[in-house]
Structure formats: C-alpha cells, structure tokens
C-alpha cells in the first residue's frame, strides 16, 4: 500500500475513533462530577465528628476493583450491576451468590451468610481464610473486551477470506491501517523480515487488547483494567515467556558469556545482564499500570477541587480542564498500547536476532 494512502486511512480512522469517544469523554466528566457531588453531600450530612471531604478515599474507591459495577448515582438511586461472588472456605465449601446480598435498601453494607464485604474484600465473620474467585468489575470488563476483540477480528478475518482481492469496507477499512502499522512500523522494524510473521498474532493481540481496555476505561462507569497491577503483571509475564522461550543460543551467550569481553569482567557484567532479563518485563508492568492509573487520578483530582474549596464557580474552570485531560487520555490510550507492543517486539527481536562476529 502506498504510504500516502496508508496515512490517509490512518487519519480517517483516528477521526472516527475520536468522534466515537469524544462524547464519552464529556460524559465521563459529568458522571464523575455527579458521583463526587453525591458522595460529598453524603459526607456533609453525616453526623460524625469529622465531615471533611476526603478526596484520597474517593479517588482510591473509583480506581479500585469492586464486587459490583457502579455506573452512576442520582439522588438516592444507585445504578449498579450486581456481580456473582464465588467464595470457598474449608468449613462451608464453595458458595455462589450475588454481591447485592451485601447491601440493604439504603445501599449500606451488611453481612451475608457468614461473610462481610470490607474495602472491596470478602472476609469470613469467624476469621476463617476465604478463597475469593468472584467475577469482579475488572474481570467482567476483561470478558467484555475479549468478546469485542473476538467478534471484530473474526469478522474482519472472514471478510478477507471471502473477498481477498476486494477493497476493505466498514470495520475492515478502519482497522486495516492500524494492523499494517503494527506490522510495518513495529514488527518488521524490531524483529526483522525473517522472523516477524510468527509473532504477528501475539503482537496484534496485545496491542488491541491494551488499546481496547484503555478506551473502555474512559467510558462512564468503565473499569480500570489496565490500571490494575495484576493485569499488567500477567501481560509482562507472557512477554517474558515469549521472549526467552524463543531466545537463540547467541542471545543466551551474550547474557552469560559475552564474546570479546575479558573473563574477569564477566563476574560483573553477567549478573547485570541476568537482572536485565527480569527488569525488562518489570518495566513493562509498571509503565502501563502507572500511566493509566495516573490519568484517572489526575481527572478525579481536578473534579475534587470543586468540593475541596467548596466553590461551585470553580467548576467553570475545572470542567474544561477535565475535558482536556480526557482528550489527552484518548491519545495516551493509543500511545501506551504502541509503546508496550514496540518494547515487546524489541525484546523479541534481540532474542531471535542472528548475530555475526
């Protein structure tokens, strides 16, 4: 495909995706403002010794995983989707029930069947160890993203099989330039012409998985999946396995016995290289987790300023800044997927490279 045509398709694809998520960005600001307002009001009327608004507690609550999916609050109405709780204890065995059992009609947390829900964790009232394998908000969001990925790309694959020589249309036309971008600018450049093909399915999977979940996290009520350290840890472990399983003899030689280096220097350099093998996936894990979580924290912090200073007029300045931050997050959503995929392809390229001395 000519580079001019490729860039044109990329341009129009980005415009379409930007329009799709622009409304979500504005809605997210309004939604978070409403949620913060509701919780701030509740704090103000609570008859306790301290009724000061706590932005830190609020922000951590919004970015954490939960056993129910909270969408929005209007007055005393809480729009939530109860999720299944699956717990196991040695005395009671396996139990499955809805998370709605932990809430009464006033949306207050209550015990259920010997279990209590505290700070997003299920505990046994008798102190017994609980093995929790529940479908939480992040797990549910992961399943949704998996269904989206399978539906979209299986459909695109079928269109290529049915009409291999026909110009792409619809979703096929939207995603083809991005697939070509991953192939030409990431896989070929970092892995090389000889080996890039067998790693393309993996690279495309992690790119679109991260990008889709980043985007879903910006929709009002969306889950903070890629801002969860457990998710980025699994992605990093998979990258570590793929890289080192495919490592050639020359790759391991350069780690344990670098050619051309004096033997006494290997005492210093070999441990450094071994640490580097583990630091690469660690940096992948922390980078994605920190960048996505930071974006959510900044957005919620901006909205919280209205209630910290108790000045409604401040909202006139906060909403435009919050909307601007959401636009930045749209860009970061793509950039983080690109950086993660590029670094993984770089590590794979160094592992499969054929060295010549």
Q: What is the C-alpha separation between 319 and 32, in angstroms, rounded?
A: 11
pLDDT for 91: 87
The domain containing residue 268 runs over which residues? 3-20+138-352
Q: What is the number of alpha carbons within 13 Å of residue 286 lying toward its C-beta?
A: 6
The secondary structure of 77-140 as a DSSP string is: EEEEEE-EEEEEETTTEEEEEEGGGGB-TTS-B--BTTEEEETTEEEETT----EE----HHHH
CA distances from 83 to 109, 120, 164 (A): 15, 13, 43
pLDDT for 15: 42
Instruction: Tell me if 60 is assigned to some domain.
Output: no
Instruction: Tell me if 33 is assigned to some domain.
Output: no
Residues 142 and 13 in one domain: yes
Instruction: Tell me if 39 is assigned to some domain.
Output: no
Q: What is the dihedral of CA 277, 281, 287, 289, to 10 degrees?
A: -150
For the chain, the C-alpha Rg in angstroms (whole number) is 24
DSSP H helical ranges for the chain: 3-45, 55-63, 137-162, 171-181, 189-191, 200-216, 229-245, 249-256, 263-308, 315-352
Report residue 17 as tokens: 């995706």
Q: What is the C-alpha separation between 81 and 237, in angstroms, rounded?
A: 32
pLDDT for 165: 77
Instruction: Tell me if 37 is assigned to some domain.
Output: no
pLDDT for 144: 93
Residues 199 and 313 in one domain: yes
| CB environment 201-234: b (16+ within 10 A), e (fewer) | ebbbebbbbbbbbbbbbbbbbbbbbbbbeebbbe
Instruction: Tell me if 245 is assigned to some domain.
Output: yes
Decide: residue 138, CB within 10 A, 0-12 exposed, 13-18 middle, 19+ buried.
Answer: buried
Residues 179 and 294 in one domain: yes
Where a domain ends, among 109, 134, 159?
134
Residues 12 and 123 in one domain: no
Residues 280 and 345 in one domain: yes
Instruction: Tell me if 59 is assigned to some domain.
Output: no
Residues 341 and 287 in one domain: yes
pLDDT for 38: 44
Within a 10 A sphere around the Cβ of 2, how many other Cβ atoms? 7
Residues 242 and 344 in one domain: yes
pLDDT for 354: 72
pLDDT for 51: 56
Instruction: Tell me if 174 is assigned to some domain.
Output: yes
Residues 96 and 238 in one domain: no
**Residues of the chain with confidence (pLDDT) below 50:** 1-50, 357
Residues 198 and 102 in one domain: no
CB under 8 Å to 55, separation ≥6 — which residues?
Answer: 300, 301, 304, 307, 308
Number of domains composing the chain: 2
Confirm if 109 and 102 have CB atoms less than 8 A apart: yes
pLDDT for 347: 95
Residues 118 and 151 in one domain: no
Confirm if 133 and 123 have CB atoms less than 8 A apart: no
Residues 332 and 279 in one domain: yes
User: Looking at the whole model, is its pTM more than 0.85?
Assistant: no
Report residue 324 as tokens: 């601007």
pLDDT for 43: 40
Instruction: Tell me if 76 is assigned to some domain.
Output: no
pLDDT for 355: 63
Residues 144 and 122 in one domain: no
Q: What is the C-alpha separation between 44 and 4, in angstroms, rounded?
A: 58
Where a domain ends, among 107, 134, 161?
134
């Amino acid at each position: 495909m000519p580079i001019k045509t490729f860039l044109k398709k990329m341009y129009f694809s980005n415009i379409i995706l930007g329009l799709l998520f622009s409304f979500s960005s504005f809605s997210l600001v309004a939604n978070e403002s409403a949620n913060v307002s509701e919780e701030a009001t509740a704090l103000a009327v609570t008859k306790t010794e301290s009724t000061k608004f706590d932005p830190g507690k609020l922000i951590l609550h919004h970015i954490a995983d939960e056993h129910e999916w909270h969408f929005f609050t209007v007055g005393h109405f809480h729009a939530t989707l109860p999720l299944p709780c699956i717990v196991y204890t040695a005395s009671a065995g396996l139990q499955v029930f809805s998370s709605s059992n932990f809430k009464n009609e006033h949306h207050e947390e209550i015990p259920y069947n010997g279990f209590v829900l505290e700070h997003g964790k299920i505990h046994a009232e008798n102190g017994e160890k609980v093995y929790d394998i529940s479908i939480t908000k992040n797990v549910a969001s992961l399943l949704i993203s998996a269904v989206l990925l399978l539906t979209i790309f299986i459909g695109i694959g079928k269109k290529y099989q049915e009409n291999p020589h026909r110009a792409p249309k619809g979703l096929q036309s939207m995603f083809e330039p991005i697939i070509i971008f991953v192939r030409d600018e990431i896989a070929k450049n970092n892995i090389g012409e000889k080996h890039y093909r067998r790693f393309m399915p993996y690279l495309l999977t992690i790119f679109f998985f991260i990008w889709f979940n980043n985007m879903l996290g910006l929709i009002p009520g969306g889950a903070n999946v890629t801002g969860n350290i457990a998710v980025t840890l699994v992605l990093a472990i998979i990258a570590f396995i793929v890289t080192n399983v495919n490592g050639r003899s020359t790759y391991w030689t350069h780690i344990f016995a670098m050619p051309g280096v004096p033997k006494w220097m290997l005492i210093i350099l070999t441990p450094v290289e071994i640490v580097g093998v583990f630091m690469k996936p660690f940096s992948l894990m922390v980078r994605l987790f920190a960048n996505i979580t930071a974006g959510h924290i900044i957005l919620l912090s901006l909205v919280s300023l209205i209630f910290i200073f108790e000045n409604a007029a401040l909202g006139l300045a906060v909403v435009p800044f919050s909307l601007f931050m959401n636009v930045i997050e749209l860009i970061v959503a793509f950039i983080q997927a690109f950086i993660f995929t590029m670094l993984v392809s770089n590590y794979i390229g160094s592992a499969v490279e054929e060295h010549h001395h």
